Amino acid sequence: MKATLILENGSVLSGTSIGSTETRVCELVFNTSMTGYQEILTDPSYAGQGVVMSYPLIGNYGVNSEDNESSHPWVEMLVVRHLSPRGSNFRREMDLGDYMKEHDIPGIEGVDTRALTKMLRSQGSMNAMLTCAQQFDVGQVLERLHAYKVRDTIQKVTRSAPEEFPAIGEERYHVAMMDYGVKQNMIDCLRRRGCSVTALPASTPAETVLSGGYDGVLLSNGPGDPAENTDMIREIKKLYDSGLPLYGICLGHQMLALATGARTGKMDYGHRGGNHPVRDVERGRVFITSQNHGYMVLADTVDPVVAQVSHINANDGTCEGLRYRRPNCFSTQFHPEANPGPRDMEYLFDRFVASMGGKTNE
């Protein structure tokens, strides 16, 4: 079946429908990963967004139930050059196309994703509509696209009630995970280090967290504009002032910066992929990281009395991490828990665990 992708700038691209045939409107972004499409589909940080995969062959190893990063997919649409008709892998449980149909994810193949990625990179991320309709008014579609905005996404992806995850092996610490759209492997990275984890709804008051007997708090990743979440930012400031060990990742990093007086801004096209080089200022080394964000902390708004930039993107010089002057508090823009990889930065979970043991210079 023919499918059509209409972009906010007026571009109209034709291809073949894959997955659901439902018409969908969303913000369109691109991801440069060669693998990990299942983890991308199930990453809550993509709520409200459609993804263009720049790598030309997607779906070649199928889908399995073990690699999901949440209970179900969050991506609004998927744009690929070629969808593999059958996955080939001993862990495969179903093919990607069938998975998309099962979860009502519309998609399109046959698009020149290289040209589309270059367009999004030069003109910035933009809204798009995917439709299988044979007749449509481009002018009316463009009006709808210009009016669309991703809003209230954290409320859509967060848990409705606390959920417990036991430590793997002997329990050393108990961590409160503020679920703004947390990925499962973020929880598992702590569990493998002897931490039991309580995942808490995003709206949980700071007072509830501080009275829970936790050894530390992790502020998770999540979707949307961090500056919109004024109530959550106010509660994060209380957690910061408490002195409890605190680590923020991606959206958690951004909201922690906002809570301490810095500002954030929207990037032209963001960082999304598994090959972003980041320089660790303290170690003097460059690591390859997995990233998924369209907003950033503006480094020049960070008060040096409060924090210092600890990690810098080696490509564009943007802020990738903050080390706070307050003991046992730091944050990173990238994903150290990345699945399927790279895992160069998992040592940051070791630093967080060490901070709960009272060590401040790990």
Active site members: 250, 335, 337
Distances (CA, A) of 77 to 186, 197, 214: 24, 32, 38
For residue 149, how far is the Cα from the chain centroid? Answer: 18
Q: How many other CB atoms are found less than 10 A from the CB of residue 87?
A: 20
Asked whether the beta carbons of 37 and 105 are under 8 A apart, the reply is no
Bridge partners of 7?
Answer: 128
**Residue 246 labeled ligand binder:** no
As a whole number of angstroms, the distance between CA 90 and CA 83 comes to 19
The CA-to-CA distance between both ends of the chain, in Å, stands at 56
As a whole number of angstroms, the distance between CA 11 and CA 32 comes to 21
Which amino acid does the sequence have at 204?
A: T
**Residue 294 labeled ligand binder:** yes
For residue 58, how far is the Cα from the chain centroid? Answer: 20
As a whole number of angstroms, the distance between CA 78 and CA 261 comes to 37
Please give the backbone phi and psi of residue 297, each rounded to the nearest 5 degrees, phi first. -80, 130
**Residue 211 labeled ligand binder:** no
Please calculate the CA angle 251-255-237 and round it to the nearest 5 degrees. Answer: 145
Asked whether the beta carbons of 131 and 23 are under 8 A apart, the reply is yes
Bridge partners of 128?
Answer: 7, 26
**Residue 45 labeled ligand binder:** yes
**Residue 224 labeled ligand binder:** yes
Residue ranges of the annotated binding site for L-glutamine are 45, 222, 224, 251, 254, 292, 294-295
Residue ranges of the annotated binding site are 45, 222, 224, 251, 254, 292, 294-295
